[in-house]
Structure formats: structure tokens, C-alpha cells
Amino acid sequence: MYKFPEGFLWGTSTSGPQSEGIEAGDGKGMSNWDYWFSIAPEKFHNQVGPDRTSTFYHNYKEDIELLEQTGHTTFRPSIQWSRLIPEGVGEVNPKAVEFYRDVFKRINAKGIKLMVNLYHFDIPYALQAKGGWENKETAYAFRDYAEKCFELFGDLVDTWFTFNEPIVPVEAGYLADFHYPAKVDLKAAVQVAYHTQLASSLAVEACHRLNPEHRISVILNLTPAYPRSDHPEDIKAARIAELFQAKSFLDPSVKGYYPEELIDILKAHDLIPAHTEEELAIIRENTVDFLGVNYYQPLRVQAPTKTTEQPMNLDFYFEHYVMPGRKINPHRGWEIYETGVYDIAMMIKQDYDNIDWILTENGMGVEGEEKFKVDGAIQDDYRIEFIQDHLKELHRAIEDGANCHGYMLWTFIDCWSWLNAYKNRYGLVELDLESQKRTIKKSGHWFKELSQNNGF
């Protein structure tokens, strides 16, 4: 029996742009995803756009009942900036206020711990048109948006997250073509990362100023970088990979400053972002209260094989490596490496003063999941096994002193994705795209037992 500490939280995470949907007359402004789909629908899987998500906006009352039926003691949704403040700054959408307040009230009434994320890869397009995160003014617009959220919903929410995986829009939008604006510009990527960190720190300051008893954090995908070999060049590549992909946000968020080695690397190639001492003081003085940690698969790297004088991308510093014989999710193609959870926990314990943290995302995507349906319900034993195997490593970490206080699966109901539409299903609850009917999977019933037993 794997028993977890008293008060350990069990739940799931989702995001507004992937779950809410759009209804005529709802007052929502255009986001970066809405705009990109309008000009390049071919970029989206099967040309399924952000208007066709899992309709939480319309069905949230039923969905909140399902939260209870699947044993949630915590839930992490996100607010869509473009829904609340359609132009990014200025006028607030009253229909959004009404919607979010009712959602939060109903979740609270179930006795479910509500943790709300302010940003899940979705910027109002009105701000993107002015440069988005390349423009420093966006950081201050985000602070104002965060303040408005704290004022409007602070009586219902006492635990907040500023950003979900802030490194992802940097990599996917400025070093690849998976997020808008889909351009390759390493110097712009570094500037975007800096402005995002500044925005996060500004929101932390605002939260503590307006509601000193509230807790606020950031959600980071802290995947350890594992080198291909013990060769010094592979080990160096892994260290640099962690600097860019984890510590570039982890260190300023928790410690208040950037790693010196990362600064030296950026200086060497004229990549230091425009900044002021006042901004660095804001980052230094407004660190997070705890951490949200997402983990799906390991980051395996090797020394770069290409040689150029100036970096055009991160593969100048390290390259991804496919490890032979790896354990694989046959339904999704991602590596499964449960030990990564333990390694993250020990890294936080040893290098970051064992700060409080929650595993805010972990999950198994499955393509063609309907083939596992028996008597009207998905029999997803593979997902139960996946969760159990990761929880064993999390339990081992807690036994060894890790300060983890909860486990949150991605996700509650099968949701839309910009890259995959509904191809890969992650939910505890199945969504029928035609009827919008929700059906609890076997894993959803098991998750309730997990929560009630506080272990398995």
C-alpha cells in the first residue's frame, strides 16, 4: 500500500483555451490561437480550431459534478486573458466575470481546492499585434490583468499560478513553428523569456500586495536533462540544456536571480536581453511561495554535431537524443521514464531549499482510445498503470524528504490541442465530439478510489 501524507491533494489540470470554447455573443476577444487559425488553419491538426474545444463554457455545471464523481480534492483551471479583457488592456468583459465567478463558486461549494492559472499559452491578439512578449509593455499589461483577477476573484481563489510552462511559448513560438508567431530568432526568444519572467514577478508582487495571505507560484516543466554518455561534451550539453529549459525560469522564480553560467553563455553570443536594474530588483524581491511542476517525459541530450560560429537555435548548445531500448507509450510515441519524478524531487530538495511543490501535470495521451471501449466505457488500464508507476516514484521521493503536497493529472475531460486536436486523449472522462456526452473512463472511477484512500 502506497499511502501519501495527510492532506495530500488529488486532482487534475486543464486550460481555458483548450476547454472553454467560444459561443456567439460571449464577449471574448481574439487570442493568438484564434488569429493564427483564421490565417493558417492548415497549421492545426485536421484544421480543427480553438472554437471547437470541449465546451466547458457551456457545460461547466455538469463538468463540476463530474469533478466530484472522480474524487477531486483539487482542480486547476486557467482564466483566458482574452475572455476577461478582450483587448488585453482596458475594458473588462462582464460575461467573463459572471462565468468565472460562477465556476469558482461551484468548485468551492464542492469542497475542492481551487488553484487558478493566469496564462496557458494564450495572449490577446491585440497585444500580440503590438509585438507580444517581445514588447516590454506586455509584461506590465499582464501585471494589470493579474491585478484585475486578484480583485475580481480573490474572495473565491487564494492560490494562483502566473504562467504554465513559460519556456514552451519561447521554444515553440521563437525557435520553432508550433506556436504563433512561429519565427526562428534566438535573440528574440531570450528577450521574450525575460519579459515573461518579469511579468511573472510583477504578478507575484501584485498578489502579495493585494492579498498578503494568498499564495502564488509558477508552473514549470522541470524535466531533468540526461546526457547520452559520460563523455564530458555530452555532460556539458546536458548541463546547458537544463540551464535553458529549466533553470532560466526556475532560478529567478525561486531564488530571484539568473544562473551565472547562463548569463555567461548569453554574453558570449551577444544574447543578453534589454533590461534595467529596477526590473532585476523586481525579480529579486518577488519570488514564488511554492512550485508547480509538470512532468511527462525525460529530456535526453547529446553534444551538438553541427558547428557554426553563431547560434541560430538551441541545437548550437545541445541536441536531442533518442535512447535505444527506451520504454515507450505505444499510443503516443513519448518515452515513459518514471524515475524522472524522483530526480526532479531530489533536485528541488537539494538545490532549491526543498521548497513546497505540487506535481501539477502528468499524463498519458492515447490515440484511437475508442478501441478500448467495452460496454460504453473506456477501459484504460494502461492509464491507471501509468499513474501508479509515477506515483510510486513520487512516494519514494516523499519518503526521502521531498516536500510535495499533491498530484494533478492532465487532464479532467479529453480536451482540444493546437497540435493534435482530439487525436491524443488524456482525460479521466471521455468526450464524444458529436454529442458532447461525457462518460467517466475506468481510470476516472479508479482515481476516485485513489483519492478516497489517499493512496493505492
* Distance, CA of 373 to CA of 362 (rounded, Å): 23
Buried b (16+ CB within 10 A) or exposed e, 126-144: bbbeeebbbbbebbebbbb
Whether the pLDDT of residue 250 is over 90: the answer is yes
Containing 152, the helix (H) or strand (E) segment is helix 137-153
pLDDT in tens, 347-386: 999 999 999 999 999 999 999 999 999 999 999 999 999 9
Mean pLDDT over each residue of the chain, to the nearest integer: 95
Enumerate long-range contacts of 83-86, CB under 8 Å, 24 or more apart: 83/16, 83/20, 83/26, 83/27, 83/28, 83/29, 84/145, 84/148, 84/149, 84/152, 85/29, 85/124, 85/145, 85/148, 86/27, 86/28, 86/29, 86/30, 86/124, 86/126
* Distance, CA of 183 to CA of 35 (rounded, Å): 16
Buried b (16+ CB within 10 A) or exposed e, 11-22: bbbbbbbbbbbb
pLDDT in tens, 266-290: 999 999 999 999 999 999 999 999 9
Alpha-helical runs (H) found in 381-435: 381-399
* Distance, CA of 166 to CA of 80 (rounded, Å): 15
What mean pLDDT comes out for the span 101-116? 98
319 is catalytic: no
Q: Report the share of the chain in percent with pLDDT over 70.
A: 100
- Residue of 20, 147, 171, 361 marked active site: 361
What mean pLDDT comes out for the span 422-428? 93
Whether the pLDDT of residue 177 is over 90: the answer is no
Confidence of residue 418 (pLDDT cuts 50, 70, 90): confident
* Distance, CA of 354 to CA of 347 (rounded, Å): 9
- Residue of 165, 205, 242, 279 marked active site: 165
- Enter the C-alpha cell of residue 169: 511559448
Whether the pLDDT of residue 54 is over 80: the answer is no
Enumerate long-range contacts of 44-49, CB under 8 Å, 24 or more apart: 44/418, 44/419, 44/421, 45/417, 45/418, 45/419, 45/420, 45/421, 45/423, 46/421, 46/423, 48/416, 48/421, 48/422
**Cβ neighbour number for residue 82 with a 10 Å cutoff:** 28
Nearest to 87 by CA among 18, 31, 24: 31
* Distance, CA of 153 to CA of 205 (rounded, Å): 17
Q: Given this model, what pLDDT does residue 149 score?
A: 98
- Enter the C-alpha cell of residue 129: 499585434
Confidence of residue 247 (pLDDT cuts 50, 70, 90): very high
361 is catalytic: yes
Q: Given this model, what pLDDT does residue 313 score?
A: 83
* Distance, CA of 156 to CA of 104 (rounded, Å): 6
Domain annotation for the chain: domains and CATH numbers? 9-453 (3.20.20.80)
- Strands 373-374 and 377-378 come out as antiparallel
Q: Given this model, what pLDDT does residue 306 score?
A: 81
Only one residue has cell 482510445, namely 369
Q: Given this model, what pLDDT does residue 420 score?
A: 86
What mean pLDDT comes out for the span 328-357? 95
Whether the pLDDT of residue 318 is over 80: the answer is yes
Q: Tell me the chain's radius of gyration from C-alpha atoms.
A: 21
**Cβ neighbour number for residue 278 with a 10 Å cutoff:** 7
pLDDT in tens, 62-90: 999 999 999 999 999 999 999 999 999 99
